[in-house]
Amino acid sequence: MSGVTYSTGNAPMMALLQITVPNVLLGRVLSLLNVVWGIAGPLGLMDCRTRLAR
């Protein structure tokens, strides 16, 4: 289920980023977005584990 929601939300967001961000900065913006996603995943798992331990 999460794969369906991820793809339906991710495709329009990427298209919007590619339209609005200048080509010169697009690589940096997408790299920053990947870093944020990479950090958000483990943080979300740690928060979930903390809440379940209560």
pLDDT of residue 2: 67
Q: In sequence order, which residues have a C-beta less than 8 Å from that of residue 18 and are 6 or more positions away?
A: 26
Q: How far apart are CA 35 and CA 41, in angstroms?
A: 10
Q: How far apart are CA 28 and CA 31, in angstroms?
A: 5
For residue 6, the one-letter residue type is Y
Domain count, the chain: 1
For residue 47, the enclosing domain spans 2-53
pLDDT of residue 29: 95
Q: Using the predicted structure, report yes or no on whether residue 41 has a pLDDT greater than 90.
A: no
Q: Using the predicted structure, report yes or no on whether residue 46 has a pLDDT greater than 70.
A: yes
